[in-house]
Amino acid sequence: MVPRSAYLRYYDSMLQHRFIDSALRNPDKIAFVDRSLGRNVSYSQALLASLILARRFKKLERGRIGVMLPTSSAGGLAVIAALMADRTPVMLNYSTGAEKNCLYAQEQCDFRVIVTAKALLEKTGCKQMPNMVFIEDILGALGTFEKTLAFVKSKLPVSLLKRATGKSNPDSPAVILFTSGSEKEPKVVQLTQHNILSNIDSFSQMMDIYEMDNLLAVLPYFHVFGLTINLWTPLCLGMTSITYANPLEFKTIAKIIREDKPELLVGTPLFLEGYVKQSEPGDFASIKLAVSGADRCPDHLRALYKEKHDIEIIEGYGTTETSPVISANPRGANKPGSIGTPIPGTKIRIENLDSGEDCPAGETGKILVKGDGVMQGYLNDLEESSLRLKSGWYDTGDLGYLDEDGYLWHKGRLKRFVKIGGEMVSLVMVEETMNDLTPIEIECCAVELPDAKRGSKIVGVTNTEIDKQDLNKRLSKTLPNLALPKKYVHVPEFPRMGSGKTDFRTLTEIVREMDEKD
């Protein structure tokens, strides 16, 4: 790992060019420890493979190219190659209906070719679609000419090599991603080279990860958290990515942490909890920094990491539209429960819901963000872009407040508030109270359904059968009567997004169908 001072001398404005710098500085260093396929890929091998794939991609598609591959060396190489070929990778979510998501993306983003893998189609149950290209077929049919050409190209002077692998325009698109769609149809987010690189630089500076040698990469690349932090950050900094395709295989990943000894662990609360529960004291001794994001980090998870491994979880906050990191708790100045302070180059303001004025410290309002990581707008959606972007400020749709020390505290999604009897009730507050009053192994959620009398009603959802009367009795000591669930349903397994977050839209439909049958 190069020191931060040396790294900054190699600063470049394009992701693939930063990767080239890393490959030329550390040709023999391992870029990917691919635990799914059981192979290691060095930086020099990764450079050659991405040059070969880039040449192929140029012949397959113009403008944009779909990428539907798991977190792996192949997935990473495909993304690098797309940029080297001056193609924008459209990252496809295979965890929530692969075929449906492919068709939706092709319609929204005007591309044909999808680079994928046969094993992934088999695992997800997705049928082969027209214009699908299998990466194993490409890599398995390489000729001597292609290999020689890539080798010769890799030996070009750095300036010529970079000129041959993508135009040096920091405002050019680096990726197309889709919002989670947990509340409504996914929006199409196009992030530029500058968006992602600025986020990498600011996050790396704030978390001081320049001296770290490797990280665990299990988050999906179709999720911005996985793409920026698990893929591009290590490639830009010359780190080793220890990849595994399925973040839900908790026992296997706990074993990988024990055996491959990553120094940086980044994940969502659901994943982090699964790993620590499958671990033994000493298994996580290599971890220097554990970062939680994408969902609220519960207090019991912090306590579990501290008691079992003496690791303090650092919580952060971000969105797809902000590349993703907005804020994080500084190392050495962690304020548990908060989502930290803005990363360098990012500003946060809290806007009063009624007046539009700035809220004073401690007052809850809408979280607005401005900075280099903020997208330019939603692709082909001027109306939604104008609603969410005003004078450079992005409206996150979240509620929160800044305390007197400048730390941000998240209070929930604005859309996850319900108006009952003229009062606004937070579904997040209801489910957090439910979780506080039930055992850790019971997962609780609150959803809104229409009600003939009040317009809306709150339904409590649990993954285990509970004593409903007893829980409501205890909830009534904390929550106002309007916020008490009027009904409870049992859903054994909550639907999930690729990030591990609850898919509220699907869960609400499940509960709605159950309610209609009663």
> Domains along the chain?
1-22+42-192 (3.40.50.980), 421-517 (3.30.300.30)
> CB-based contacts of 377: which residues, under 8 Å, 6+ apart?
190, 385, 389
Predicted pLDDT of residue 183: 56
- Of the candidates 214, 212, 154, the one whose C-alpha atom is nearest the C-alpha of residue 20 is 154
Roughly what angle, to the nearest 10 degrees, separates helices 250-260 and 269-277? 70
- How big is the CA angle at 482 (ends 478 and 484), to the nearest 5 degrees? 55
Please tell me whether residue 8 adopts helix, strand or coil conformation: helix
CB 234 within 8 A of CB 214: yes
For 299, how many CA atoms within 13 A lie in the half-sphere containing its CB?
6
Sequence-separated (6 or more) residues with CB below 8 Å from residue 212: 1, 239, 263, 264, 288, 289
pLDDT at 6: 43
Q: How many CB atoms lie within 10 A of CB 37?
A: 14
pLDDT in tens, the chain (518 residues): 444 544 443 456 899 999 999 999 999 999 999 999 999 999 999 999 999 999 999 999 899 999 999 999 999 999 999 999 999 999 999 988 899 999 999 999 999 999 999 999 999 999 999 999 999 999 888 888 989 999 999 999 999 999 999 888 899 999 999 987 655 678 999 999 999 999 999 999 999 999 999 999 999 999 999 999 999 999 999 999 999 999 999 999 999 999 999 999 999 999 999 999 999 999 999 999 999 998 889 899 999 999 999 999 999 999 999 999 999 999 999 999 999 999 999 999 999 988 999 999 999 999 999 999 999 999 999 999 999 999 999 999 899 999 999 999 998 877 777 877 667 788 888 888 998 889 988 999 998 888 777 778 889 999 999 888 899 899 988 888 888 998 899 999 998 877 677 888 888 889 988 888 77
Q: What is the pTM of this model?
A: 0.85
Amino acid code (one letter) for 107: E
- Report pLDDT for 180: 74
* Residue 357: both structure tokens together: 């004025």
Contact 229, 209 (CB under 8 A): no
Q: Tell me what percent of the chain is helix, strand and coil, each rounded to the nearest 5.
A: 40, 25, 40
Output the CA–CA distances (angstroms, integers) from residue 486 to 365, 422, 508, in the order listed: 28, 17, 15
